[in-house]
A and B are shown apart, each in its own frame.
Chain A
């Protein structure tokens, strides 16, 4: 099917796929002055990306600066997770674990993550890449790579057009058709692939605010309940509150090992019916207020990081680097692939730039990408969590205490026994590099909240400062925030050398954070219980700060 076309242009970098990862690599390459082309098979960017989606806070804190400093379209800030652990649905024997919550007064401004629809979010990212000078071609499917002397030298589109590039960054997502064809990695086996059955329901904003608020809801049940897909193979039901809608996903591994493939169509249909008619909060509070808007399904990789052989599969070859889901970097616990997609895209762009400037795109050189991914504490944490996987043993034993234990470790407060060290390591790395990052983080949380309230996003018209309902209030709150942010920045700058030094000293020590959290967890819980008792006061403070943010001038929260 290769057409005899003249080899059109030559690019420095070609990026395959404009999902979450591709545009991040594109922005960095284009900003470095490289001639960059991004190819996307859909007609409009993001319209073929199906996801959850809560992008956890660490993606924003440690991800690309154009996202942290930008105004991407978000659907709702998230303040934590409520887990429903279901023993018997008919007698409503359900236990709740809602220990993973950002406490007031920090919530909902300081968020656990942000919910988003993929189409507008990926489109926003791609526009940022175009603004940075990247060329974007949609409706173009990459069918294969050009190989010269065993080295990748560009891509071949479905129409046979050959487009040459010095380096190809593959951000095509989990199926990895191009990566498999190019011989970089194998096709993943069905045991590590989960099929997600996704529904989107319209609901008025007021109803989402009062019924679901800012909290994700996860459900875990025994097989016999026919409610959430069988836990035995690490699956669940997740409900995300969006701005004016509720997103719902049930997922199930494609194969249960030994080649057993169950009738997922039948199972999903039954579960969906049972959830919507039996689960008390859905049946009574959500169902009467929603209208089904969309039904979609998509596969995603779930346990790639837990399989040693798959994990050690290469993610680069001569002239080509895989990033995001294409490289198997989907999380094993929260199914949160976006942060790792962003981090790996950032790293790949750095390595591509270094490779092109050193005129060496050999596999040996590009291996530094793999090394940096292996050295990234948050990527490694997210692809190696075992709690969701271990739920299968609780299921086999039918042991409710075990089940609760893994849920608590995976999506409850006890996650701090495994996330504290990598999180602290990243925080200290960033602070050591530039203490002023703390200022960016704080401004980001404030700005994102403001943006959420007023739907203030880049590339979209909005009445700036329409929230300022009185000039007095606006001046007052703007003055307050300006003083706070300026004061904080000045203090930070003043203590910079000391903060840098402290970060350097603390970095090696933070390996003790996980075991320490293990020991301190009971005290931590006790403290949070005490803190919860202050709720009337902390809620009031939270309400006031939210009001102040609403009255402010959002430019205060932008990069100075």
Chain B
């Protein structure tokens, strides 16, 4: 997985900036998570990792706020909100 990540993001995600202090807008509820890793497989920003058979948010530094993780989680274990207004990703090329 690490190798894959390097291939996809040589340095950073071009053309996108991340602003400000977003807060923990994506969270995993441990009790509900069964470690199926669906969230890991769909997140293009590599925001999740599996630790002790549970998903956890590694970093939201490349989160594009797409909500794919929230949609696919079969256990409703992901709490998804928007980051604080005016923070998070921004782009001119969407």
Chain B associates with chain A: yes
- Point out residues on A near B: beta carbons under 8 Å: 41-44, 46-51, 117-119, 138-141, 143, 157-158, 175, 177, 187-190, 193, 195, 197-198, 200, 245, 254-255, 259, 261-266, 268-269, 292-299
Q: State whether B7 touches A269 (Cβ < 8 A).
A: yes
Knowing A263-B41, A264-B42, A265-B43 are in contact, say whether A296-B94 is a contact too (CB < 8 A): yes
Q: Report 9 cross-chain contacts, Cβ distance below 8 Å, ordered by A residue.
A: A44-B90, A48-B94, A119-B92, A141-B82, A254-B42, A261-B41, A296-B91, A297-B44, A297-B64
Contact between chains at B64 and A296 (CB < 8 Å): yes
How far, in Å, is B24 (CB) from chain A's closest CB? 13
Q: Which residue of A lies closest to B12 (CB)?
A: A295
Q: Give the contacting residue for A295; candidates B4, B16, B72, B90; CB below 8 A.
A: B16
- Total A-B pairs, Cβ < 8 A: 135
Q: Per-position contact with A for B77-91: 1 when CB-CB < 8 Å, else 0?
A: 000111111101111
B68–A299 contact, CB under 8 A? Answer: yes
A261: chain B residues within 8 A (beta carbon): 38, 41-42, 72
Inter-chain contacts of A43 with B (CB < 8 A): 19, 85-86, 90
Closest B residue by C-beta to A266:
B4
**How many angstroms from the CA of A51 to the CA of B94 in the assembled complex?**
5
A197 contact from B15, B41, B44, B84, Cβ within 8 A:
B44
Q: Mark B5-41, 1 if CB is under 8 A from A, else 0.
A: 0011000011110010000000000000000001001
Whether B85 contacts A48 by the Cβ 8 Å rule is no
Q: How close is B21's CB to chain A, nearest CB, in angstroms?
A: 13
Q: Which residues of B contact A (CB under 8 A)?
A: 4, 7-8, 13-16, 19, 38, 41-46, 64-68, 70-72, 74, 80-86, 88-94
Give the docked Cα–Cα distance between A303 and B18 (Å): 31
B8: chain A residues at CB < 8 Å are: 265, 269
The answer for the CA separation of A403 and B4 in the assembled complex, in Å, is 32
Contacting residues, chain A, for B80 (C-beta < 8 A): 175, 177
Q: With both chains docked as a complex, state the minimum distance between the C-beta of A305 and any C-beta of chain B, in angstroms.
A: 17
Closest to A197 in B: B44
Given A177-B82, A266-B4, the answer on whether A50 and B94 have CB atoms closer than 8 Å is: yes
Q: Give Cα distance in the complex from A44 to B88, angstroms.
A: 12
Contact for B84 among A158, A188, A295, CB less than 8 A:
A158
**Contacts A266-B4, A294-B14 given: A299-B85 contact, CB under 8 Å?**
no
Residue in B14, B71, B84 whose beta carbon sits within 8 Å of that of A254 in the complex = B71
Q: Tell me the complex Cα distance, A245–B43, Å.
A: 27
The reply to whether B41 and A265 contact each other, CB–CB distance below 8 Å, is yes
A119 touches B94 (CB 8 A): yes
Chain A residues contacting B66 (CB-CB under 8 Å) are: 195, 297-299
**Complex interface: chain A residues within 8 A of B44 (CB):** 195, 197, 264-265, 268, 297
Q: Is the CB of B90 within 8 A of A47?
A: yes
B93 adjacent to A299 (CB under 8 Å): no
Contact status A42-B86, CB under 8 Å: yes
